[in-house]
Amino acid sequence: MSHPVNVVATKPFDGQKPGTSGLRKRVKVFQQEHYTENFVQAIFDSIKPDGMTLVVGGDGRFFSPEAVQIILKIGSANGVKKFILGKDGILSTPAASNVIRKYKADGGILLTASHNPGGPNNDFGLKYNVSNGGPAPESVTDKIYEITKTISQYKVIEAPPVDLSKIGETTFGPSQVQIIDSVTDYVTLLQDIFDFPLIKSFLLDNASSFRVLFDGLHGVTGPYAHAILVETLGLPPSAVQNCVPSPDFGGGHPDPNLTYARSLVDVVEANNIQFGAASDGDGDRNMIYGKGAFVTPSDSVAIIADWAHVIPYFKKGGVKGLARSMPTSKAIDLVAQKKGLEYFEVPTGWKFFGNLMDAGRLSICGEESFGTGSDHIREKDGIWAIIAWLNILAAANKESPNELIGINELLQKHYAKYGRSFFSRYDYEEVPSDGANKIVALLDEAIKTSSLNGTAHVAKTAAGQEFTIASVESFSYTDPIDGSVSTNQGQVLNFADGSRVVFRLSGTGSAGATVRMYVERYVAPEAGAAELGRDTAEGLKGLIEVALGITKLKESLGREEPTVIT
């Protein structure tokens, strides 16, 4: 049977360059006539989709239903053999990565702008993932971008829209469409990874002394969290909140950090909840936060690595290696050294972990930007991290039946064993570019001339603290698998006591420049419990003062305070 294909004439749009996380723009930009169609056709032109199986799904944000139909019509006209779709076009980013791998698809198109707000006046996004389930490498996204610059036509089939609400198989023009439950495969995946019976009995035995609250921030993870925490692990429905996904995330900013996940922090504090957690709009980020205890993402991944032996997936397959992004604290390095594991420091961006995982050299990794994950898929995974914590706490409590080990107890035990890397990030959002460039230039000069090396800086706000600069460097990375080199990935002040301050310009900001300052100060176990247990801001005060002084940051940016502190 032949199917009518329409060829539609179009003209290129400027700026369709996918970033590390795909093309992210305002909804109104995507809604322009031919805009979304052009980009989708450019994806298909660059991947030669004839005979392919493709996964399609996203976080359900505003404009997703329309975009799914566009992808189906253009994909089918370009020869896609089979589409696998999440029901209603919904798949969290980790779930999509899993579906691509599990069904051996050739790739997938994810409809998401991650943690950016949604709705008619906010963001939409499209991202192409390849057959390993991870984001397309730059060679592919560069090709897509090149095609968008000269595109003159796109192809669509003539067919009525697919009903996305019906699970099952149908035909769509010359293609097959399989609509699957968005949640089932992901629940099965986590059941194979974690010790669900152990977690379940721990939660049941401690129902009143260890209460759990998950906040979906109105993003895509609501149904996943409900299926796992309530239906599988037996927690009461009150253990989840804001778990009905909404196209505009309830008008909020679906980013799990201390600033934007206030809805979680407030209830955890008010109701003395021992274990709180949140995930972002598309489900790949996470925050762990219990009563009075915030876990930095840097500590979180180090603790998961330290306790990997209680997680069946790692018990079975072993831990092949550990990794973190450069600005992430070195807490995980200490775990790797103690366990004799290979470990890596990669540039910011999850894609750098994928090559190491595919080569069988990396099992557990994380980024300070609230990303934690493992080689079970090729995206970071918010709910995976949260269930990893529950698995670890259940196991720790089984080992020590006479005390209740909560988040804070686990943190303090970790610090007593490894020492503590106090860590904080200061974000200066939407600052003038020339101010940001001044800081970069000042540090470049210091790198070139070594002028700061060996200089000592006394902190006035922290009695007795003095920091001597050992070296200043610009971070470059050579991928050990494919040899590709990434330069200028952030400037680092290394201090003689092992402390570090990193400066980096954000690669995801949408207006002006965003300067990020990452501050890390290591305190050894010998310092004792009182020193190790200090408030983060207190522990970092002196170093922050020194770093701001050396870089003349406030003067250059014209900002007294950062926009966000995490």
Stretch that binds ligand G6P, among 155-163, 345-353, 413-421, 557-565 (CB under 6 A): 345-353
Stretch that binds ligand G6P, among 120-128, 261-269, 397-405, 502-510 (CB under 6 A): 502-510
- Should residue 349 be labelled a site residue for ligand G6P when binding is judged by CB under 6 A? yes
Please identify the residue of the shown chain whose CB is closest to the bound Zn ion. 114
270: phi then psi, degrees, rounded to nearest 5: -65, -35
3-class SS string, 7-50 = EEECCCCCCCCCECCEEEEEHHHHCCCCHHHHHHHHHHHHHCCC
Of 123, 128, 116, which is closest to residue 22 (Cα–Cα)? 128
Q: Which does 122 bind (CB under 5 to 8 A by kind): Zn ion, ligand G6P, none?
A: none
Of 267, 312, 317, 304, which is closest to residue 381 (Cα–Cα)? 304
Structure tokens at 491: 């400037």
Stretch that binds ligand G6P, among 258-266, 367-375, 479-487, 543-551 (CB under 6 A): 367-375
Cα–Cα distance, 256 to 296 (Å, whole number): 12
Residues 9-68 that bind ligand G6P (CB under 6 A): 20-21
CB contact burial 40-56 (16+ within 10 A = b; e otherwise):
bbbbbbbbebeebbbbb
Among 282, 333, 367, 381, binds Zn ion (CB under 5 A): 282
With residue 121 as reference, give the H or E element that holds it: none
**Nearest distance from C-beta of residue 111 to Zn ion, angstroms:** 12
Count Cβ atoms below 10 Å from residue 278 Cβ, excluding itself. 32
With residue 1 as reference, give the H or E element that holds it: none
In the block, residue with structure tokens 């196209």: 247
Q: Which does 369 bind (CB under 5 to 8 A by kind): ligand G6P, Zn ion, none?
A: ligand G6P
- Should residue 206 be labelled a site residue for ligand G6P when binding is judged by CB under 6 A? no
Residues 103-132 that bind ligand G6P (CB under 6 A): 114
Stretch that binds ligand G6P, among 150-158, 291-299, 364-372, 454-462 (CB under 6 A): 364-372
Residues contacting residue 50 through CB under 8 Å, at least 6 positions apart: 78, 79, 81
Stretch that binds ligand G6P, among 202-210, 246-254, 286-294, 342-350 (CB under 6 A): 342-350
Of 95, 128, 93, 123, which is closest to residue 109 (Cα–Cα)? 128
| Cβ proximity to ligand G6P, 157 vs 515, nearer residue | 515
Residue at 397: amino acid letter: N
Q: What is the DSSP letter of 334?
A: H
Among 516, 518, 539, 556, binds ligand G6P (CB under 6 A): 516
- Should residue 141 be labelled a site residue for Zn ion when binding is judged by CB under 5 A? no
Q: Which does 280 bind (CB under 5 to 8 A by kind): Zn ion, ligand G6P, none?
A: Zn ion
Q: Which does 161 bind (CB under 5 to 8 A by kind): Zn ion, ligand G6P, none?
A: none
**Nearest distance from C-beta of residue 228 to ligand G6P, angstroms:** 23
**Which of 46, 114, 298, 374 is labelled catalytic?**
114
Instruction: Spell out the alpha helix ranges (H) of 295-342.
Output: 297-306, 312-317, 331-339
Q: How far is CA 46 from the centre of its chain?
A: 26
- Helical axes 382-399 vs 93-102, angle rounded to 10°: 90
Could you tell me if 56 and 72 are in contact, meaning their C-beta atoms sit under 8 angstroms apart? yes
- Should residue 507 be labelled a site residue for ligand G6P when binding is judged by CB under 6 A? yes
Structure tokens at 59: 């976080």
Cα–Cα distance, 523 to 334 (Å, whole number): 12
- Should residue 521 be labelled a site residue for ligand G6P when binding is judged by CB under 6 A? no
- Should residue 508 be labelled a site residue for ligand G6P when binding is judged by CB under 6 A? yes
Cα–Cα distance, 271 to 373 (Å, whole number): 29
| Cβ proximity to ligand G6P, 86 vs 371, nearer residue | 371
| Cβ proximity to Zn ion, 114 vs 424, nearer residue | 114
Annotated catalytic, 279? no
3-state class (DSSP) for residue 428? strand
Could you tell me if 518 and 493 are in contact, meaning their C-beta atoms sit under 8 angstroms apart? no
Count of residues that bind ligand G6P according to CB under 6 A: 13
Cα–Cα distance, 191 to 323 (Å, whole number): 24
Q: Which does 21 bind (CB under 5 to 8 A by kind): Zn ion, ligand G6P, none?
A: ligand G6P
**Nearest distance from C-beta of residue 127 to Zn ion, angstroms:** 10
Residues 368-407 that bind ligand G6P (CB under 6 A): 369, 371
CA distances from residue 128 to 18, 154, 185, 241, 513 in whole angstroms, order as listed? 9, 18, 21, 31, 26
- Should residue 328 be labelled a site residue for ligand G6P when binding is judged by CB under 6 A? no
- Should residue 191 be labelled a site residue for ligand G6P when binding is judged by CB under 6 A? no
- Should residue 350 be labelled a site residue for ligand G6P when binding is judged by CB under 6 A? yes
Count of residues that bind Zn ion according to CB under 5 A: 5
**Nearest distance from C-beta of residue 369 to ligand G6P, angstroms:** 4
Site string for Zn ion, 252-281 (x = CB under 5 A): ----------------------------x-
Among 41, 114, 141, 566, binds Zn ion (CB under 5 A): 114
Which residues of this chain interact with ligand G6P, rule CB under 6 A?
20-21, 114, 348-350, 367, 369, 371, 506-508, 516
Q: Which residues have a catalytic role annotated?
A: 114
Which residues of this chain interact with Zn ion, rule CB under 5 A?
114, 280, 282, 284-285
